[in-house]
Chains A and B, each alone.
Chain A
Amino acid sequence: MSDARKRTGSMPDADAKVDVVVIGDSESMCKGCKQALEGGGWGVGVAADGDEGLQVVKKTRPRVVLLDLDGSGTPGTDVLAGLSRTDPSPVVVAVTGRGTVEAAVECMRLGAFDVLAKPVAQARLLDAVGRGMKLSEVRGITAAGGKAGTRGKYDVLLEGLEVLSQSYALGLERQDFLEELRHLEAEARYHAESLGQVKKREKAILDIVHDFKVVDDVVEKHGYRKDALIQILLDIQGRLNWLPGHALRWLAARLGVPVADVCTITSFYEAMSLTPRGRHLVEVCLGTACHVRGGPELLTKVSALLGIKAGGTDLRGNFTLKTVHCLGCCALAPVVKIDGDYHSNPTMDHLKKTFAELSKEETVTCQN
């Protein structure tokens, strides 16, 4: 059963996260458990006896300890007691050969969370340790050890409870509330994916929350007036550099207008963009005066240089090319307006230089 030889425990690298510490003097058992637990995705530390085990636990702060109660050396009960006094105190899964009910109850009274009878089946082991992990989470014990002042899980949970209570006060049923949240979360993910961006779930959600807040801010500035819808949309585009679908749905809900009305307007007006715009807006004027003075040729040149057709945005998101009728500076015809600067009858050299300079810049996008 147990190997009487003294064995040093194997310590994982100092940097590796240790979720479980296995304490037992049977090398084969420890090795077997370690393999199985690592297969479950946990970092594992091993100690040969109780004293070493307590030290390892103090150092690595695991969430769960797998303790062989029958090992020689310090009696299992003392180790249990020692573990319960450690701070943070890990969840202990005890392993014993004495498979009686009395023995199990005795273990649990001493602080073990679960008792496994030898020989330990792998599935049983993983299940027990898994549940132990969950319990340790609930107890708020983290492997890294929380620092004072940071928002931990419980802070967030408390806030969540407050919000839930507020939603009840508004007459929202829990099911509907959660359903709406799920829906918004899905929007965030859809939005990130459709932009071709690989974002962590938290970042995707934070981004659409930012967009929603911009919408709220604009709507408030306009006094929630429904007739200011066009102005509101222009202002939202001014801040987000385009009109994302989720922002439009949020706006419709906020203003109390049907989504279809919002879509009618955004699809009607030239100035409104339902696709992300590049950092730099290039507008070639195709007003009549520019048309007779070489506007279409200028458009061909600009389009060829940027590699995009009118209405499009380049793959790197640097430039959006649009045609406008008319900018009202007909004496400068043909005119191209780049980011608010007017360029009259530009040469190819001038265009190449300007575009090259603008592509280099690390400009901030309209997300402010």
Chain B
Amino acid sequence: MPKLNSPRDLSALRSQLEAKSRAKPMMVTVCSGTGCLACGAASVTAEFKKQIEKAGLSEKVGVRATGCHGFCERGPITVIEPQKICYLATKVADVPEIIEQTLKNGAVVERLLYQDPATGKRVQRVEDIPFYKYQQRVLLVNNVRIDPTSIEDYIAVGGYAALAKALSELKPEQVMQMVKESGLRGRGGGGFPTGAKWETTRNAPAEPKYVLVNADEGDPGAYMDRSLLEGNPHSVIEGLTIGAFAIGAHEGIIYVRQEYPLALQNTLTGLDRARQLGLLGTNILGSGFDFDVRVHRGAGAFVSGESSALMNAVEGHVGEPRPKYVHTSVKGLWDKPSCLNNVETWANVPFIINQGVEWFRSLGTKGSKGTKIFSLVGKVKNTGLVEVPMGMSLRDIVFKIGAGIPGDKPFKAVQTGGPSGGVLPDKLLDLPVDFDELTKAGSMMGSGGLIVMDEETCMVDTARYYTDFLAHESCGKCVPCREGLRQMLAILNRITTGKGEEGDLALLEELCSVTKVASLCALGQSSVNPVLSTLKYFRAEFEAHIREKRCPAGVCKELIAYEIDKARCKGCGLCAKNCPTSAITRTPSKVHEIHQDKCVRCGACYTVCPAKFRAVAKVPASKVRTAA
């Protein structure tokens, strides 16, 4: 494909591509994000291609492997266009039937459709499925329509029109003004007004200036940025280029964590293709603006996602933060003005330019405009990626979109903001997702991880889990974070192993107060949130661990044990077969028993005992063991 030398070339190419796709309206799109690929999506795509070819339908029907559709619980997902019929959990064996029924005869394969759990009714179209219905998919809408490795697909759905408009019709200051007025706030967790950051960078008196994409996404349980980069890398590249134009930067860097190999690959492919078409490089679209991007890989450090740490890593030093008396937007990479934004923030920019400020401001709340992508994970039925307008309540997200807790067990808490955030109990479920509201409640928006927890999640263990994670990831530079987290972890470890003492909770709170105030960077400062929020809303659980040496949720390994009910055991032996430490033996009466000294409490026997017997029970450790 020849280089595009002007906006007109781009529009001409777009018209061409649109005409091409109109000529072949039927399309089988198979979700091929990392999650669905792990469930065999690649084989499904290959099978479709093969069978369609065999049936002689290749002229009429296309097959496209797209990025993440979001409904990860039910992958691999196949959507048939233009009817938008959505088939869930498609397997290779389903392909012939789909071709025969849907592609040839226009009928649906009922068993593969979504079924409403309440009414039993089958839902055909994508947008009628409750999971999708209540979302507002602005950023993710194109994930289901394009092959992420194809720049043509992106252009065909309107890609790079915003860049062309900005370069040919607007001045850099105008672009900046639009972003400022839109009210867009950083999507990486900080929530800082994006336009203000751009302006500071632009006005900083030094050259050259840099723009950076933070795709480190270290929050465990969050994978929004992964799906954006895997599924639609060009949206980020376009946003970044527009931003560079507004700021006056000519070099961009995308920092991708090494745990996302597919995102890395698709980004590199995208950059190559953009360069080939002249959408990156010198004199982009004939505007005289030069800009290029390179990619820097992370190497497995959570703290390197902090902006000053990230810049240190890009410079080739170890990725540790530095005190930010002078903002990185003034003195960042190599002491030059550097504007760092999250993947999702950059992806919002083309929409603001294309649809306008008014449109963007019509979504969301007073303080938080636009939409936000969340990863809804944990104890929830519809695990996946959801995009909602700011202001939707957590209740709606968990119950309307997520369809509630598996087994309809009672809701216990939802954790937002990753290791920097906190838990919110049932009584706060009606809080809207909004930067300021969530912070007021003791948590924070964070990058978008929403972990749902039920009665079988121990809050003390949750606090310990996050503290363990942060203590490990702390860079160690400053004492309050390094030592504070270490001591907090020691206390929490004691509590979860039945060695908690009176006074531990007061000591924890005291440690938190120092760490929060005196730490060098946000990792340390916000590390207290998981502990303080679990203490605030679930203090009783902590006290049970300390005073009664009991874990109400049945999680903390030292405080629980597994026991076989002799009356219920029918001697099928499945538990013994699955025990990794051979701790289960058969007694002469066929009933099995667990040798507690060998048991490592992995729970395999509990999971594997057939439901009709349910002979393995989780009991407090004190019941089977004499010493603590």
Pair B451/A347 contact, Cβ less than 8 Å: no
CA distance A229 to B302 in the complex (A): 19
Pair A293/B379 contact, Cβ less than 8 Å: yes
**A272 interface residue, CB < 8 Å from B?**
yes
**A324 interface residue, CB < 8 Å from B?**
yes
Pair A287/B221 contact, Cβ less than 8 Å: yes
Nearest-neighbour CB distance to chain A for B591, whole angstroms, equals 21
Instruction: Tell me the chain B residues, 223-249 only, with Cβ under 8 Å from chain A.
Output: 223, 226
Nearest-neighbour CB distance to chain A for B453, whole angstroms, equals 6
Mark interface residues in A232-274 (1 if CB within 8 Å of B CB, else 0). Answer: 0110000000000000000000000000010011001111100
Chain A residues within 8 Å of B522, by CB: none
Instruction: Tell me the chain A residues, 322-355 only, with Cβ under 8 Å from chain B.
Output: 324-333, 335, 340-344, 347-349
CA distance A325 to B449 in the complex (A): 13
Pair A333/B377 contact, Cβ less than 8 Å: yes
Nearest-neighbour CB distance to chain B for A218, whole angstroms, equals 13
Pair A330/B72 contact, Cβ less than 8 Å: yes
Pair B34/A342 contact, Cβ less than 8 Å: yes
CA distance A300 to B604 in the complex (A): 10
Pair B379/A272 contact, Cβ less than 8 Å: no
Mark interface residues in B484-526 (1 if CB within 8 Å of A CB, else 0). Answer: 0000000000000000000000000000000000000000000
Nearest-neighbour CB distance to chain A for B482, whole angstroms, equals 14
Our pick among B319, B418, B601, B603 for the contact of A268 (Cβ within 8 Å) is B319
Chain B residues within 8 Å of A287, by CB: 220-221
Q: Which residue of B lies closest to A298 (CB)?
A: B602
- Which of A296, A331, A344 gathers most chain B CB within 10 Å? A331
The tally of residues in B whose CB lies under 8 Å from a CB in A reads 62
CA distance A332 to B223 in the complex (A): 13
**B297 interface residue, CB < 8 Å from A?**
yes
CA distance A299 to B317 in the complex (A): 33
Q: Which residue of A lies closest to B376 (CB)?
A: A330
Pair A304/B300 contact, Cβ less than 8 Å: no
Chain B residues within 8 Å of A304, by CB: 580-581, 600, 602
**B480 interface residue, CB < 8 Å from A?**
no
Instruction: Tell me the chain B residues, 320-362 only, with Cβ under 8 Å from chain A.
Output: 320
CA distance A30 to B297 in the complex (A): 75
Q: Which residue of A lies closest to B302 (CB)?
A: A325
Our pick among A230, A326, A347 for the contact of B316 (Cβ within 8 Å) is A230
Chain B residues within 8 Å of A331, by CB: 35, 72-73, 75, 377, 383-384
Pair A329/B299 contact, Cβ less than 8 Å: no
Mark interface residues in B355-383 (1 if CB within 8 Å of A CB, else 0). Answer: 00000000000000000000101110001
Nearest-neighbour CB distance to chain B for A186, whole angstroms, equals 29
Nearest-neighbour CB distance to chain B for A310, whole angstroms, equals 12
Pair B258/A329 contact, Cβ less than 8 Å: no
Nearest-neighbour CB distance to chain B for A168, whole angstroms, equals 34
Mark interface residues in A282-304 (1 if CB within 8 Å of B CB, else 0). Answer: 00001111111110110011001
**B39 interface residue, CB < 8 Å from A?**
yes
Q: Which residue of B lies closest to A331 (CB)?
A: B72
Chain B residues within 8 Å of A324, by CB: 259, 300
Pair A292/B457 contact, Cβ less than 8 Å: yes
Pair A332/B39 contact, Cβ less than 8 Å: yes
CA distance A327 to B581 in the complex (A): 28
Pair A329/B223 contact, Cβ less than 8 Å: yes
Pair B220/A325 contact, Cβ less than 8 Å: yes
Given known pairs A227-B316, A288-B221, the reply for A269 and B296 (CB within 8 Å) is no
CA distance A329 to B418 in the complex (A): 16
CA distance A250 to B384 in the complex (A): 46
CA distance A326 to B301 in the complex (A): 11
Chain A residues within 8 Å of B465, by CB: 288, 291
Nearest-neighbour CB distance to chain A for B429, whole angstroms, equals 18
**B318 interface residue, CB < 8 Å from A?**
yes
Given known pairs A226-B316, A304-B580, A326-B220, the reply for A233 and B453 (CB within 8 Å) is no
Pair B600/A330 contact, Cβ less than 8 Å: no
**B313 interface residue, CB < 8 Å from A?**
yes
Our pick among B72, B217, B313 for the contact of A329 (Cβ within 8 Å) is B72
Pair A288/B220 contact, Cβ less than 8 Å: yes
**B260 interface residue, CB < 8 Å from A?**
yes
Pair A300/B580 contact, Cβ less than 8 Å: yes
Given known pairs A227-B315, A287-B221, A289-B378, the reply for A329 and B38 (CB within 8 Å) is yes
CA distance A341 to B601 in the complex (A): 27
Pair A294/B317 contact, Cβ less than 8 Å: no
Given known pairs A300-B601, A331-B35, the reply for A348 and B578 (CB within 8 Å) is yes
Chain A residues within 8 Å of B418, by CB: 288
Pair A269/B378 contact, Cβ less than 8 Å: no
Pair A293/B39 contact, Cβ less than 8 Å: no
20 pairs, CB–CB < 8 Å, chain A vs chain B: A225-B316, A227-B315, A234-B258, A264-B318, A265-B318, A268-B301, A268-B320, A271-B300, A272-B299, A286-B220, A292-B453, A294-B603, A324-B300, A328-B217, A328-B226, A331-B35, A331-B377, A332-B39, A347-B608, A348-B604
